[in-house]
Structure 1
Amino acid sequence: MASEKDSGYRKNFSLIVTFIVLISLVFVLSLFLAFNFSKKNIENDFVSAKANVLEESIKPYNDFFLNKLQEISFYNGYLDSATATRFVDTILRDYPFVSKVTFYDTEVKNIKYEGYGVNAGDFTIGMKNVYQFGHDVPKDSIKIFGEDETRHLLKPGDFNTLSLKLITFIQKLDTTKVPSPEELFSNFTNVQTNRIDYFNIPSFELLKTYKRMVTTKLASNPVYQLDMFSFELDQTKIKIKNTRPLLYQDVRIEPISYDPLVTSSDNITGEITLGGPFSDYKLYFISSKSFVKKEIFSYFLPIAAVLFLFYGVLVLVAFLIYRNLNVNHKMFKLQYDFVTNLTHEFKTPVSVIKIAGNNIKSATSLTQREQQLYGKILDEEADKLNGLMNKLLAFTQIENKAITLNRDEINIEDFIESTIEVHKLKHPDFDFTYEIYGFKTFIADPVLLGSLFDNLAENAYKYSNEGQKKLHITARLIKDKVVLRFKDAGIGIPSSEINNIFKKFYRIQNRYNQNGSVGLGLAFCKELVNFMNGEISVRSTVNKGSEFKIVLPYINN
């Protein structure tokens, strides 16, 4: 039966080892796949995250182009130099990439314009005054053109280009349909490299009037105000917002044609065009492979931690299963040995009783000496059976706290003397000595204390060689504690077994246990001491003896 159990245990242990090996292989494979996934993901991010850096970096420009420019139309062409100055100041302050602004104070007339301007028939877009603004513009050069001035620094090319574009739009305008905002914006705006020119957008009714002015000479000779701004842009003043500083080591603006002469294999590069008036430039991204590898590991490590946690849980489960199997195996062995030894313990006195009974039964007559002998045998063997059953019953009761702890006054000297007398009668070769220090009486349960003394005395006798069957008992009062020491000269306990001797059903394998031992003696002692709110410990040296130390609370009347 035991071999079958051992075989099953070994089989289960092999299955657990196989399980751990398999999950370890899966764990290593998962780490490998997770690292490759992290690497691929970061490499894809290097490509895709460029768009986010571009979007964040040109967000101020988009705000300027889509929102700020259109504020010019709110003035309906009636901006003067003072208002234009305040408007431009906000632009130069809020949008550092705008390096210079030229303001054209313009008129739309229904006559051919003699000065600077663009004509289409009797429709004319002409300049009255032109001002320039910028951090590098001298204060005496703000006004660069005026109708009443002969000196000017005017270069009307940008004005003429956008004016012609506007006139072309008016000539093709379908006055039966309102143009869309996008159509108006694109025709009143001219985007060039590092420059944006913008006319304020008039109402649709005014556009229809412009349409009539192109084809007809109106009797009223109307004059309308129109404003144009020309913004010079500097791409170097765009503030790059690196949204992935752990991915892109360096981001800079370079010409679209920029191509480094030396490209290191240790670097990863990428680029994306700025677009719009900056379409001749690009964002250039460069990172060393070692720099990107840090980002890969920062992405990989949390995944690895989760995998490791999951792996640890599986290993813990396997360990707990193994531990339970091991405990069950030990418990089975202990119970098997207990049943075997208990059977032997019961079988011996039962066999002796049966033999004595048969002898009495078969004898025709018994002498007085034979009657006394058989009576003594029956009485002793019955006492053995009774003592064994009482120990088992007491152990179970104490373990389940099913008995009440009695508190009687005990004279320690008388108690030790009585213990010595009992064991000297049973074992005349047993050498007993004792010492008492610091007290004479204390309160304890005499039955439980007697069982404790008896078990330790029996062990001292049983596990000692002939001529060495000695026991020295010391009773000492130390700081409100009764300290009892039982020192023998027996065979001792190996250090590897010290932690096991107080376990139930546990037996040290030696020649003294070959004839049967239930393995309850010291476990019973530990339960007794615990029940009396005390502590028990042991020190032992092989072939020199053991010393059991018991500490009990000192209670006195």
Structure 2
Amino acid sequence: MISEKDSGYRKNFLLIVTFIGLISIIFILSLFLAYKFSKKNIENAFVSAKANVLEESIKPYNDFFLNKLPEISFYNGYLDSATASKFVDTILIQYPFVTKVVFYDTEVKNEKYFDDGINLGNFSVGMKSVYQFKKLGTKNSGKLIGEAQVKNNVTLENFNSVSFKLINFVQKLDTNKVPSQEELFSNFTNIQSNRIDYFNIPSFEILKSYKKMVTTKLDAEPVYQQDMLSFQLDPNRIKINNTRPLLYQKVKVVPITYDPLDTSSEYVTGEITLGGPFSDYKLFFISSKSFVKKEIFSYFLPIAALLLLFYGVLVLVAFLIYRNLNINHKMFKLQYDFVTNLTHEFKTPVSVIKIAGNNIKSASSLSEKEQQMYGRILDEEADKLNGLMNKLLAFTQIENKAITLNQDEINIEDFIESTVEAHTLKHPDFNFTYEISGFRTFITDPVLLGSLFDNLAENAYKYSSPDHKKLHISARLIKDRIVFRFKDAGIGIPSSEINNIFKKFYRIQNRYNQNGSVGLGLAFCKELVNFMNGEISVKSVVDKGTEFKIVLPYNN
């Protein structure tokens, strides 16, 4: 016979420990590298994401410069104070960084000179009047602040600088080629620190007339209307759009020369120049290292979770492999024990039958008493073999649902009495008691119920000490269920074994269970109860006794 040592299911604990240790080291190393990667990525983001914050923050300025300013040219120089007031009012509301607008109502004439304008040859640019608009509040936005003589109220610097650009452009203008929009826009716009001056762009035909007016006095003496607006800008009113609030703790507009003295090693800082009319200012970014560390962890944790999931899968695979080997090992042991015990169970009656047969065969003559004795021995041992074979066959049939459940009406008192009589006859020292409550008859399969009673009664007798061989059976009808209780005063079942006693081939190691059991009795009971659509449970105290509870449906 194959011994347990020859089993192919040996548990290699060292291999399992080595595998788990290796993947644990790889897991820890992966976490370390993932954190380093996350830290480097966030540090790079702190540098690169500044451009995105700048782009989002100056979007309103770009819209103002590229879309709103060119609208002035749509009026073709015919803006008056009322129209200019409405136009400026929308700008002051829509673009908070524009704090003041000066409107120059301008004319371009041929040969007529302006005292406070720019004159070149027969080409003259001068102001008729100047208006100043300033945002004082929602109700007052667009209100005319002041209107008077030009030289008494406003400086000519803004106007002259743009006028000079206009004259230089007209002098160099190639009348055979239409200038590009970029060229026109740059020559009619003057960008300075915190200020943009803009002349409306006339048509190409008018520009050609301007070219003629520089050197020639035209007979018609034309007069052209021009509009110039000077926008005063405040960079501190730019609304910062912090697109990475979890990365930049604070973003502010500061002068280009700003250099904070209180920034210590506990902070991370960065800066980027605004450009254009705000070139004297920059965006200053500052975050504490603990604040940045939170962002590092928010980036790192999903990676760590994936690594943990992968690690968990590997550990689960290792556990399942170990569990499979362990289960196979246990199954081999159970089968080994089953074959060993079954062989012993068969061997004992077979040996007794063989001895009795030899004695009968070798005896020259047998007395009547000897014939009865040998007949009884042969009969009892044959019954043992038959009972064992029937139990194995019934177990297999029930497991495979190969039998049908009979439905016969039985008298429960008569049924229990017959069980008591059979076991008392077999074991005269077996003390039986019983009680019945709530019903007298019910419909069930008497053969299966008898097998159930016989197995539990045999267990109660077998696993009890000689002076405690007793069993109390109670049968009660509770609602639509019949509850049977089998309570003995035996050796009891350890709590650690309770979950195993209904498993096939499982045997509890104790002084009563060394030989003569194949571990099928309680497993057979559980299969019987399940087949009868019932439930079985057990509670036990070591050295006090065991109680089996069986609940079956009441059919009547």
TM-score (ref. length: structure 2): 0.92
In the other structure, the counterpart of 1:509 is: 509
In the other structure, the counterpart of 2:409 is: 409
In the other structure, the counterpart of 1:461 is: 461
**What do the CA deviations read for 1:185-210 (whole angstroms, capped 9, x no partner)?**
11111111111111111122222222
With over 3 angstroms needed to count, the CA separation of the structure-2 counterparts of 1:65 and 1:479, relative to structure 1, is closer
Q: Does 2:328 match 1:328?
A: yes
Q: Distance in 2 between matches of 1:464 and 1:550?
A: 21
With over 3 angstroms needed to count, the CA separation of the structure-2 counterparts of 1:483 and 1:262, relative to structure 1, is closer
- How far the C-alpha of 1:139 sits from its partner, in A, is 7.4
- How far the C-alpha of 1:270 sits from its partner, in A, is 1.1
Q: Say if 1:144 and 1:154, in contact at 8 Å, map to a contact too.
A: no
With over 3 angstroms needed to count, the CA separation of the structure-2 counterparts of 1:95 and 1:493, relative to structure 1, is closer
In the other structure, the counterpart of 1:490 is: 490
In the other structure, the counterpart of 1:356 is: 356
Q: Say if 2:85 and 2:144, in contact at 8 Å, map to a contact too.
A: no
The within-5 A match list for 1:41-120 is 41-111=41-111, 113-120=113-120
With over 3 angstroms needed to count, the CA separation of the structure-2 counterparts of 1:234 and 1:417, relative to structure 1, is closer
With over 3 angstroms needed to count, the CA separation of the structure-2 counterparts of 1:133 and 1:432, relative to structure 1, is closer
Q: Say if 1:487 and 1:547, in contact at 8 Å, map to a contact too.
A: yes
With over 3 angstroms needed to count, the CA separation of the structure-2 counterparts of 1:436 and 1:154, relative to structure 1, is closer
In the other structure, the counterpart of 2:419 is: 419
In the other structure, the counterpart of 1:16 is: 16
Name the amino acid aligned to 2:147. K
**What do the CA deviations read for 1:3-26 (whole angstroms, capped 9, x no partner)?**
446674322x44333333333222
Q: Does 2:309 match 1:309?
A: yes
DSSP 3-state at the match of 2:252: strand
Name the amino acid aligned to 1:412. I
Q: Distance in 2 between matches of 1:548 and 1:140?
A: 101
Structure 1 window deviating more from structure 2 (272-281 vs 506-515): it is 506-515
In the other structure, the counterpart of 2:384 is: 384
Q: Distance in 2 between matches of 1:495 and 1:225?
A: 106
With over 3 angstroms needed to count, the CA separation of the structure-2 counterparts of 1:234 and 1:547, relative to structure 1, is closer
In the other structure, the counterpart of 2:272 is: 272
Name the amino acid aligned to 2:176. T
- How far the C-alpha of 1:486 sits from its partner, in A, is 2.5
Q: Say if 2:131 and 2:144, in contact at 8 Å, map to a contact too.
A: no
Q: Distance in 1 between matches of 2:245 and 2:292?
A: 10
Q: Distance in 1 between matches of 2:356 and 2:143?
A: 138
Q: Does 2:147 match 1:143?
A: yes
DSSP 3-state at the match of 2:492: coil
**What do the CA deviations read for 1:105-136 (whole angstroms, capped 9, x no partner)?**
22222215142211222222222222222136
The within-5 A match list for 1:20-39 is 20-39=20-39
DSSP 3-state at the match of 1:513: coil
Structure 1 window deviating more from structure 2 (425-434 vs 287-296): it is 425-434
Q: Distance in 2 between matches of 1:297 and 1:74?
A: 54
Q: Distance in 2 between matches of 1:433 and 1:80?
A: 119
- How far the C-alpha of 1:102 sits from its partner, in A, is 1.6
Q: Does 2:398 match 1:394?
A: no
**What do the CA deviations read for 1:420-460 (whole angstroms, capped 9, x no partner)?**
33223322333333333444333222211221222122222
Name the amino acid aligned to 1:314. L
Q: Say if 2:105 and 2:227, in contact at 8 Å, map to a contact too.
A: yes
- How far the C-alpha of 1:181 sits from its partner, in A, is 0.8
**What do the CA deviations read for 1:195-243 (whole angstroms, capped 9, x no partner)?**
1111111122222222222233333332222221111112222222222
In the other structure, the counterpart of 1:258 is: 258
With over 3 angstroms needed to count, the CA separation of the structure-2 counterparts of 1:133 and 1:453, relative to structure 1, is closer
- How far the C-alpha of 1:365 sits from its partner, in A, is 4.2
The within-5 A match list for 1:330-345 is 330-345=330-345
- How far the C-alpha of 1:409 sits from its partner, in A, is 2.5
Name the amino acid aligned to 2:360. I
DSSP 3-state at the match of 1:240: coil
Q: Percent identity?
A: 79
Q: Say if 1:470 and 1:488, in contact at 8 Å, map to a contact too.
A: yes
In the other structure, the counterpart of 1:371 is: 371
Name the amino acid aligned to 1:103. F
Q: Say if 1:469 and 1:490, in contact at 8 Å, map to a contact too.
A: yes
In the other structure, the counterpart of 2:231 is: 231
Structure 1 window deviating more from structure 2 (338-347 vs 533-542): it is 533-542
Q: Say if 1:504 and 1:519, in contact at 8 Å, map to a contact too.
A: yes
Name the amino acid aligned to 1:9. R
DSSP 3-state at the match of 1:15: helix
Q: Distance in 1 between matches of 2:91 and 2:483?
A: 94
In the other structure, the counterpart of 1:500 is: 500
With over 3 angstroms needed to count, the CA separation of the structure-2 counterparts of 1:497 and 1:141, relative to structure 1, is closer
Q: Say if 1:199 and 1:226, in contact at 8 Å, map to a contact too.
A: yes
Q: Say if 2:491 and 2:545, in contact at 8 Å, map to a contact too.
A: yes
Q: Say if 1:487 and 1:546, in contact at 8 Å, map to a contact too.
A: yes
In the other structure, the counterpart of 1:220 is: 220
- How far the C-alpha of 1:160 sits from its partner, in A, is 1.3
Structure 1 window deviating more from structure 2 (358-367 vs 303-312): it is 358-367
With over 3 angstroms needed to count, the CA separation of the structure-2 counterparts of 1:243 and 1:513, relative to structure 1, is same
Q: Distance in 1 between matches of 2:212 and 2:440?
A: 133
- How far the C-alpha of 1:480 sits from its partner, in A, is 4.3
- How far the C-alpha of 1:313 sits from its partner, in A, is 3.0
With over 3 angstroms needed to count, the CA separation of the structure-2 counterparts of 1:506 and 1:70, relative to structure 1, is same
Gaps of 5+ in 1: none
Q: Distance in 1 between matches of 2:394 and 2:168?
A: 116
State how many pairs are aligned.
Answer: 551
DSSP 3-state at the match of 1:425: helix
Structure 1 window deviating more from structure 2 (55-64 vs 221-230): it is 221-230
Name the amino acid aligned to 2:473. I
- How far the C-alpha of 1:375 sits from its partner, in A, is 2.7
Structure 1 window deviating more from structure 2 (542-551 vs 84-93): it is 542-551
Q: Say if 1:248 and 1:286, in contact at 8 Å, map to a contact too.
A: yes
With over 3 angstroms needed to count, the CA separation of the structure-2 counterparts of 1:2 and 1:312, relative to structure 1, is farther
DSSP 3-state at the match of 1:142: strand
Q: Say if 1:112 and 1:121, in contact at 8 Å, map to a contact too.
A: no
Name the amino acid aligned to 2:379. D
In the other structure, the counterpart of 1:541 is: 541
**What do the CA deviations read for 1:450-495 (whole angstroms, capped 9, x no partner)?**
2122212222222222333333333334444433333333222222
DSSP 3-state at the match of 1:421: helix
Structure 1 window deviating more from structure 2 (387-396 vs 198-207): it is 198-207
In the other structure, the counterpart of 1:431 is: 431
Q: Say if 2:122 and 2:213, in contact at 8 Å, map to a contact too.
A: yes
Name the amino acid aligned to 1:156. L
Q: Say if 1:349 and 1:384, in contact at 8 Å, map to a contact too.
A: yes
Name the amino acid aligned to 1:351. S
Q: Say if 1:99 and 1:135, in contact at 8 Å, map to a contact too.
A: yes
Structure 1 window deviating more from structure 2 (102-111 vs 465-474): it is 465-474
Q: Distance in 1 between matches of 2:524 and 2:543?
A: 24
DSSP 3-state at the match of 2:502: coil
TM-score (ref. length: structure 1): 0.92
Name the amino acid aligned to 1:315. V
